[in-house]
């Protein structure tokens, strides 16, 4: 697995774990957790995290953007116009073109509004952005996102912050079978085994925030997710045995005394 890199928008990453920067007690905890996770990409909520006001603590002072890839996202946006404005601002502030798009439908369920998401993806792609898109686990919508220029498909496992884990393995498998784009599970994971399952389904990576940041010990949970992703990827590449309804003896059946 030494040369098994995650490739997004022609850029290579050794780690397949992406970590969010929100919900930590402070920036020191955030920085240490990300270091322990081994993540090379971190999401940054442009509307919520200070990345430009030098009179206040800057995320850049804790997480070096020369060593870690920042992925500006549109967390908190509920319309296409808001999302477009937010990412255009991110491009002006930091020159970022690799971005994560999420356009939510309501404040209770935090499910993606796929009509607004699809519209935004098409506009951003035409403007030269490399768009990683948070979406539902609907295979038809995932294919449409690919067709309008998304560079990565990011279906939810379950509602944001719910910790429920993958609720629809079948749809994830269908999405995997129909796209060559990076497929990254985004939202709803609760423990390291959820990440392992995601990788065993053939996903290229997982994005985790709440499950790590709000764990009783975020440092240990970051390590657990790191190892869970590695184990799941190795398991997937190894090629699992076929499932059968009947037992199969593990010892030789010939030459029995």
pLDDT of 48: 64
Prediction pTM value: 0.87
Catalytic residues: 100
Nearest to 83 by CA among 99, 107, 65, 96: 99
> DSSP letter string over 219-248?
HHHHHHHHHHHHHHHHHHHH-PPPP-SS--
Please report which helix (H) or strand (E) contains residue 195, including its range.
helix 192-200
CA distance 243 to 45: 42
Angle between helical axes of 80-94 and 114-126 (0-180°, round to 10): 40
User: What CATH number has the domain spanning 6-237?
Assistant: 3.20.20.70
244-257 confidence digits (pLDDT tens): 888 877 766 666 66
Please tell me the chain's helix, strand, coil percentages from 3-state DSSP, rounded to the nearest 5: 35, 15, 45
Residue 101 has pLDDT above 90, yes or no: yes
27-73 confidence digits (pLDDT tens): 889 899 999 999 999 998 876 666 666 677 677 778 888 899 999 99
**Domain map (residue ranges) of the chain:** 6-237
Please report which helix (H) or strand (E) contains residue 249, including its range.
none
The neighbour count for residue 172, using CB atoms within 10 Å, is: 23
109-156 confidence digits (pLDDT tens): 889 999 999 999 999 999 999 999 999 999 999 999 999 999 999 999
- In the DSSP assignment, the letter for residue 104 is B
From residue 122, alpha-carbon distances to 23, 117, 178, 226 in Å are 30, 9, 20, 33
CA distance 84 to 101: 9
């Amino acid at each position: 697995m030494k040369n098994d890199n995650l490739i997004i928008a022609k850029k290579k990453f050794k780690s397949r774990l992406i970590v969010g920067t929100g919900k930590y007690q402070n920036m020191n905890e955030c920085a240490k957790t990300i270091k322990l996770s081994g993540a090379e990409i971190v999401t940054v909520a442009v509307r919520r995290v200070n990345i430009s006001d030098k009179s206040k603590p800057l995320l850049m002072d804790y997480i070096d953007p020369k060593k870690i890839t920042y992925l500006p996202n549109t967390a908190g946006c509920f319309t296409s116009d808001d999302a477009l404005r937010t990412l255009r601002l991110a491009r002006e502030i930091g020159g970022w073109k690799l971005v994560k798009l999420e356009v939510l439908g309501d404040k209770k369920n935090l499910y993606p509004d796929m009509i607004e998401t699809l519209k935004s993806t098409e506009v951003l792609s035409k403007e030269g952005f490399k768009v990683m898109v948070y979406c539902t686990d609907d295979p038809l919508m995932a294919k449409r996102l690919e067709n309008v220029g998304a560079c990565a498909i990011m279906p939810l496992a379950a509602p944001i912050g719910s910790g429920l884990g993958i609720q629809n393995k079948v749809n994830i498998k269908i999405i995997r079978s129909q796209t060559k784009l990076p497929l990254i599970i985004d939202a709803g994971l609760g423990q390291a085994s959820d990440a392992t399952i995601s990788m065993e389904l053939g996903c290229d990576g997982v994005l985790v925030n709440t499950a790590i940041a709000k764990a009783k010990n975020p440092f240990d949970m970051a390590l657990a997710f790191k190892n869970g992703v590695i184990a799941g990827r190795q398991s997937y590449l190894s090629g699992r045995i076929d499932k059968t309804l009947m037992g199969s003896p593990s010892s030789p059946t010939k030459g029995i005394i």
